[in-house]
Structure 1
Amino acid sequence: MKVTVKIVAAAVAFACTMPVLHAQNRSTVRTVSPKEEKNELSVRAQSLYDKAGITEADIPWMRVIYRSVDLTKEKNMPLYYPEESMENQENMFRLIVRLMADGKVPVYEYLDGREIFTEAYQLKVKDVLDRYHIPYEEKQGRTSKTVTFGIEDSDIPTNEVLSYYMREKWVFDQRNSKFYPIVEALCPVLHRAGDFGGEAVKYPMFWVRYNDIKPYLSQQYILTNNENNVQHYTFDDYFQLRLFEGEIYKTTNLRNMSLMQMYPSDTARVAAQTKIENQLKSFEDNLWVKMPEQEDTDVKSKAKDKDSSDVKEEDNNSKKEQKATVSRSTRSSRGTVSKSKSSSKSSKVSRSSSRSASKSAPVRSVRRTK
């Protein structure tokens, strides 16, 4: 009897403590406020952008290209405008600074040709803001260890970031048999003049990995066309579709030299840039062995091109010959006309002379004598 009484008492006590445990669990779940959850990506949303990357064993060929994206050009203006935040639009540099200030995206030291994206080269947000004289206000985060920085919109120097450095990899993926470029990192470049004016000096600020900001870029829609004001594309679409215009200023080489250092003259540097672009375009065509049918079509197309060029040359030559014959005929006709005129003049002179001679000759009368 005593044992059964103890078991019943324990069951009653456990049943009484269950609602209290449920209430405590509910209170712990609701500790995060809706304001803190704003602009946060869930684990499921981040998993949509996490793809199984290719390994080094799948890449038998790769070339690293550095480009300079000038925001003053028309194709690159979607990255710069609007300068001030609007309802559904925002400047890309402003977006990157906010992500950096909130501690959502790490940034790394700018090293010319030696980009290392590890914790050893990760920059502190406070050091970046102090280095480029951007006012901020320190805020305590959710825990005592995390600190965020509040920056006013007017203090972000969006009007001075007029270009970006882009590091991209052109990769041949033998697993998928594809050749494509991968945007690896972006570096905002600050164009800031001195206290006494003059030409603006470029200051590369920091590197940010594209995969870190890709989930946020894919949620920000931009205006890419002045004639069509519907926002079809995001920042991520803009880079994946390669709607930008970037000038090659460097490729990875043994001496770690830029094209400006290797080719001081403008003509040689432009020729080197076009050569690199042509190499990237023709690399994929040279990978595969063409089928006989494709070779025949290529030969026919080349023959057609040659025939068309020959026909054009013949037409040009015939036109030149016609012009030459016309000019000759006009010259010869002029000569015959002058000759006919001279002959007619000579005939007129001979006739007039004969007439005058006949008039001036004496007339003799012969009288007959008986």
Structure 2
Amino acid sequence: MKIALKLLNSILLLLLVVGSVNVSQAQRAEEIITESSEPASEVFLDGVVEKRLMVENRVLPYEPIREADIAWEKRIWRIIDTREKRNLVFRYPEKSFFSIIQELANDGDINVFRDDRFTEIIESDELIQILNRVDTSVVFDPETYEEQIKITTEEINWEDIKRYRVKELWFFDEETSRLRVRILGIAPIKEEYDEETGMFKYEAPLFWVYYPQIRESLSKFQVFNDSNDSAPMTWYDLFEARIFASYIYKQSNVLDLRLQDYFEESDERGIDILLESEKIKNDLFNFEHDLWEY
């Protein structure tokens, strides 16, 4: 009988010890889960992980090319219409392409030029006037009972920039025996309308940016990808891979004429300009193939 009581006491003691161990382990597990569930910092990500690919991205400099290796070159000017389906990324409301250029220019990270030869830099004071629209209005002062002229400034709306001009250089590299292209400059175009009638008057580039200078800056801004939000394509990748739709409106010529200057005003003028643009593009394509013998 005594042996049975001792055995029963030993079993009860063992159960109490095991139970206390399980409780302590459960408490530790709960503490671990509670601590790990708290955010490591006060940064709340709009995604699964913090994306660092673009931040750590580095743009390689252009490979050196000898002047003697350039056997032929041609300057081409293009128009990128942001209203085309393929170019809608230029009008992404969260961060449009014009907003990026405007931000870089205002911060002084890039230079802006008056012409497409990049000879005259626009100073910051004049740039402010270009990027801002000044309006005057007459207001009534209730204290002095007098009319006063109030001057207000408003930044250019990115939605008003519908087209861009792109200047590029096509050249044949004898060292690699292939036709190559490099973008030289980009210019946003703004349309001007009559304030009274609202009729279109003309369009003109606001300024020119030198593309080789902004390559590094464009590699820090992501392009919206309609197929995959996680794709790390940047504006640098878009221009280098030429993922945009455009048409040629000018090529280098002795009189510095645009294609529209070759045709008279008519209902079919627009079609004639596009056909001539396609002809120039095909000539560039055929030029490279004509250099080879099979």
TM-score class, shorter-chain normalisation, is: 0.5 to 0.7
State the structure with bigger RCO (CA 8 A, min sep 6), 1 or 2.
Answer: 2
Distance change in 2, residues 1:201/1:180 (3 Å): same
Alignment of structure 1 residues 140-155 onto 2, 5 Å: 155=155
Distance change in 2, residues 1:222/1:253 (3 Å): same
Contact 2:192 2:201 in 1 (8 A): yes
Distance change in 2, residues 1:45/1:224 (3 Å): closer
Alignment of structure 1 residues 132-211 onto 2, 5 Å: 132-134=131-133, 155-196=155-196, 197-199=198-200, 201-211=202-212
Per the TM alignment, residue 267 of structure 1 is displaced from its structure 2 partner at its CA by: 4.0
**1:263 is matched with which residue?**
263
Per the TM alignment, residue 230 of structure 1 is displaced from its structure 2 partner at its CA by: 3.4
Give the partner amino acid of 1:157: N
**1:77 is matched with which residue?**
88
Task: Using structure 1 for the length normalisation, give the TM-score.
Answer: 0.54
**2:109 is matched with which residue?**
104
Q: Secondary structure at the match of 1:255?
A: coil
Contact 1:223 1:230 in 2 (8 A): no
Q: Deviations over 1:135-193 (max 9, x none)?
A: 7xxxxxxxxxxxxxxxxxx8342111111000011111112222122111000111243
Q: Compute the RMSD of aligned alpha carbons.
A: 2.4
In the alignment, structure 1 residue 242 sits paired with structure 2 residue 242: yes
**1:52 is matched with which residue?**
63
More helix by share: 1
Q: Deviations over 1:334-368 (max 9, x none)?
A: xxxxxxxxxxxxxxxxxxxxxxxxxxxxxxxxxxx
Per the TM alignment, residue 59 of structure 1 is displaced from its structure 2 partner at its CA by: 0.8
In the alignment, structure 1 residue 287 sits paired with structure 2 residue 288: no
**1:219 is matched with which residue?**
220
**1:365 is matched with which residue?**
none
Instruction: Find the structure with the greater CA-based Rg.
Output: 1
Give the partner amino acid of 1:99: L
Q: Deviations over 1:228-250 (max 9, x none)?
A: 43334211111122111111111
Q: How many residues align?
A: 217
**1:229 is matched with which residue?**
229
Give the alignment partner of residue 96 of structure 2, picking from 88, 91, 94: 91
Distance change in 2, residues 1:72/1:62 (3 Å): same
Give the partner amino acid of 1:270: L
Q: Deviations over 1:6-36 (max 9, x none)?
A: xxxxxxxxxxxxxxxxxxxxxxxxxxxxxxx
Task: Using structure 2 for the length normalisation, give the TM-score.
Answer: 0.67
Q: Which runs of 4+ in 1 moved over 4 A?
A: none
Per the TM alignment, residue 50 of structure 1 is displaced from its structure 2 partner at its CA by: 2.3
Contact 2:57 2:219 in 1 (8 A): no
More strand by share: 2
Q: Deviations over 1:268-297 (max 9, x none)?
A: 32332121111111121111111xxxxxxx
Alpha-carbon distance between aligned partners in 2 of 1:80 and 1:174, rounded to the nearest angstrom: 39
Alpha-carbon distance between aligned partners in 2 of 1:191 and 1:164, rounded to the nearest angstrom: 11
Unaligned runs of 5+ in 2: 1-54, 135-153
